[in-house]
Structure 1
Amino acid sequence: MPQITFIDHTGEKRSVAGDTGATVMEAAVKNGIPGIVAECGGACACATCHVYVDESWTGIVGEPSHMEEDMLDFAFDVRPNSRLSCQIKITDAMDGLSVTTPERQG
């Protein structure tokens, strides 16, 4: 199981195991990660699972789809490395992935 580190806006780190094939949002919700609200349950219909992907991981995580980019318009403090965690499928290559949650969602 790949390990994913969630860093909140204060710098507190929490590492959890994520199931390959699940999403980063699902791993966050399953493990009670603060800062991931996930109001739509992963349907890419809100922006409450917004994260910043550590820049060293952006190539592995990939680019957002057009639909995801549209939803990011509703997110707080969007940056070039912003993603919706519900749209990031966990692969074995993501072991060690690090994401940061914004100060607030949507």
Structure 2
Amino acid sequence: MKDAINIFVEQENGERIELEAPLDMNLSVMEVLKANEFPVQAVCGGMAICATCHVEVLQGEDLPEMSDDEAYMLESLPHATDSSRLSCQLRIEPELDGLVVRIMPEA
């Protein structure tokens, strides 16, 4: 069994940066992004109440169901898309291996 998965962050120029995310620490995608110094504010610390960790999922299968709190926050964002998620609500699990996200602007 693998002890880490790879996720990718797509930049504005289309370049994809690969990140290794450990499976044994119960981290969220938001925590992995912050640990790798991506510009994710995560003001609420992962409680799904600020939407400052908004990402667009470009590739990813088997994502967990969206909670009502996450859906409500995303509904309030003017630039949300059908594939928007809050990265704090995506836990690092084997099913997320190969996930590709784009960090969305806050305004």
TM-score under structure 2 length normalisation: 0.84
Tell which structure's C-alpha radius of gyration is larger.
Answer: 2
The aligned runs of 1:91-106 (5 Å cut-off) are 91-102=93-104, 104-106=105-107
Q: Give the percent of matched residue pairs that are identical in Structure 1 and Structure 2.
A: 34
Q: Distance in 2 between matches of 1:15 and 1:7?
A: 9
Residue 8 of structure 1 deviates from its aligned partner by 2.9
Asked if the contact 1:68/1:87 (under 8 Å) is kept, the reply is yes
Q: 1:49 aligns with which of 46, 53, 62?
A: 53
Residue 25 of structure 1 deviates from its aligned partner by 0.3
Residue 105 of structure 1 deviates from its aligned partner by 1.5
Could you say which residue in structure 1 is the equivalent of 2:5?
2
Q: 1:28 aligns with which of 30, 33, 57?
A: 33
Q: Distance in 1 between matches of 2:48 and 2:13?
A: 26
Could you say which residue in structure 1 is the equivalent of 2:84?
82
Paired residue secondary structure (1:86): helix
**Moved segments of 4+, more than 2 Å:** 8-13, 73-76
Q: Distance in 1 between matches of 2:38 and 2:20?
A: 12
Aligned Cα root-mean-square deviation (Å): 1.6
Give yes or no for the alignment of 1:61 onto 2:63: yes
Which runs of 5 or more residues in structure 1 are unaligned? none
Could you say which residue in structure 2 is the equivalent of 1:13?
16
**Which structure carries more helix by proportion?**
1
Which runs of 5 or more residues in structure 2 are unaligned? none
